[in-house]
Amino acid sequence: AYRQLKKAADFAGVEHVGNHTLRKTFGYWFYKATKDIAMLQEILNHSHPSVTLRYIGITEEETQNVLKHFSVFQGQ
């Protein structure tokens, strides 16, 4: 499977493809689409949400940016 993934990555000009590339990519886009870190933590079988966020590459800065724009009173 890795050799086929590596071939596709080379063809597309993507560097740094590893064994967890597809898993991390799924996790990243699942989180971006749903913001459900608890569900993603369960799917990836991680022990803590911070482990999951670090694994998928969500940084503290991105988290703070989301919180700056979050409001319980959306639309008011």
Q: Give pLDDT tens digits for 56-76.
A: 988 877 888 888 888 888 665
Q: What is the pLDDT of residue 47?
A: 96
How large is the average pLDDT for residues 2-15?
A: 90
For the chain, what are the domain ranges?
16-69
Q: How far is CA 64 from CA 25, 53, 57, in A?
A: 21, 13, 14
pTM, rounded to two decimals:
0.69
The predicted pLDDT at position 75 comes to 61
What count of other Cβ atoms lies within 10 Å of the Cβ of residue 73? 5
The helix/strand/coil state of 19 is coil
